[in-house]
Amino acid sequence: MKFTAQQIADILEGTIVGNPEVEVSKISKIEEGEKGSLTFLSNPKYYPYLYTTSASVTIVDNGFKPEKKITTTLISVENAYEAFSKVLAFYNQVKDHKIGREAPYFISDSAKIGINEYIGAFSYIGKNVTIGENVKIYPNSYIGDNVFIGNNCVLFSGVKIYSETIIGNNCKIHSGTVIGSDGFGFAPNKNGSFKAIPQIGNVIVEDNVDIGSSCTIDRATMGSTVIREGVKLDNQIQVAHNVEIGKNTVIAAQSGIAGSTKVGENCMIGGQVGIAGHLTLGNNLKIQAQSGISKNLKNNLVVQGTPAYNYSDFNKSYVLFKNLPKIVSKINHIEKELNTQK
């Protein structure tokens, strides 16, 4: 799809310097810009590329004046970075705008689906499923019985939603993610084997949640595993049964949360963090990458390490860890001197 510089300027409420009729059909970095592409310039580090780029249209901050001749058409806005982000969102909206149903698919007669839906090929929608308006379900997806999905959600290819799951409005779930599979619950037998404990709960995902690719969110043993409003999960994250993640918490890739742990609101959790089960973590926490959390944490802490402790103390301790051979050597030297003086 092509857009003129004038159409883009109208969307961004910007001012054109150059040819308003020039067309663009793709987006590029300014240093890699080519004819027919749209880019932006906000970091002074990239100013030189403005004079060499072949991009047809460039978004710049108000008041920017080229020092040399340029070939690109400029759109001046209050904040070029924010304006370009708005363009990216609009671009994604246009690119992903799909409506209709692609055969073959299976939809139960008892399922209810709102208007403007997209159902990709080889998708399965089970009994008593309720799906809201403007929902996009990409090919090879599975939605089990009694699932509820709100409005304006996107399920990318290969997403699996087990039965009884509830998903709110404006959620995005990326390829390969599984929501609602059995929690890891097994009871040991006398002979050393294990017997599975039935997992009869569900998963609740509230509004405005983004879940990356290949995440697994287990159903509760009883009750619900809950992902609160505004949570953002990166790729390859494990959320165990009966976990609750507070609103607006963000978690980076390859982190895992064991069963029945409660994570607070507005937390920032780095990659490869491991959190033990049955813990309560406070609000506004910052947990550095590769930390291991084995005890409850109060509000507003910054922690690191395994087991994790105060970030400032960790840095001070690390200096000692790093210099430990030298410290030991000095101690040994002092001991030898003291022994020779006896």
The stretch 251-267 carries a mean pLDDT of: 98
176-200: pLDDT as tens digits: 999 999 999 898 999 999 999 999 9
Q: What is the pLDDT of residues 143-176, one digit of tens each?
A: 999 999 999 999 999 999 999 999 999 999 999 9
pLDDT in tens, 289-329: 999 999 999 999 999 988 777 877 777 777 777 778 888 88
Residues counted in the chain: 342
Predicted pLDDT of residue 219: 97
Query: Is-contact 25 2, C-beta < 8 A?
Result: yes
- Residue-wise pLDDT tens digits, 19-56: 999 999 999 999 999 999 999 998 889 999 999 999 99
pLDDT, residue 91, reads 78
CB 203 within 8 A of CB 221: no
Residue 116 confidence (pLDDT): 95
pLDDT score for 342: 63
Q: What's the whole-number mean pLDDT along residues 9-27? A: 93
Three-class secondary structure assignment of the chain = CCEEHHHHHHHHCCEEECCCCCEECEECCHHHCCCCEEEEECCHHHHHHHHCCCCCEEEEECCCCCCCCCCCEEEEECCHHHHHHHHHHHHHHHHCCCCEECCCCEECCCCEECCCCEECCCCEECCCCEECCCCEECCCCEECCCCEECCCCEECCCCEECCCCEECCCCEECCCCEEEECCCCEEECCCCCEEECCCCCEEEECCCCEECCCCEEECCCCCEEEECCCCEECCCCEECCCCEECCCCEECCCCEECCCCEECCCCEECCCCEECCCCEECCCCEECCCCEECCCECCCCEEECCCCEEHHHHHHHHHHHHCHHHHHHHHHHHHHHHHHHC
Is 241 a residue of the active site?
Answer: yes
For the chain, the distance separating the N- and C-terminal CA atoms, rounded to the nearest angstrom, is 89
What pLDDT score does 336 carry?
81
State the angle between helix axes of 311-322 and 324-341 in degrees (0 to 180), rounded to the nearest 10: 60
Query: Catalytic residue among 97, 174, 241, 333, which?
Result: 241
Question: Cα torsion at 154, 273, 236, 174 (round to 10°)?
Answer: 10
The structural domains of the chain, ordered by start, are 3-95 (3.40.1390.10), 100-314 (2.160.10.10)
pLDDT digits (tens, 9 = 90+) for 81-132: 999 998 888 877 777 778 999 999 999 999 999 999 999 999 999 999 999 9
- Residue 165 · residue 183 · CB < 8 Å: no
Q: Of 68 and 235, which is predicted with more confidence? A: 235
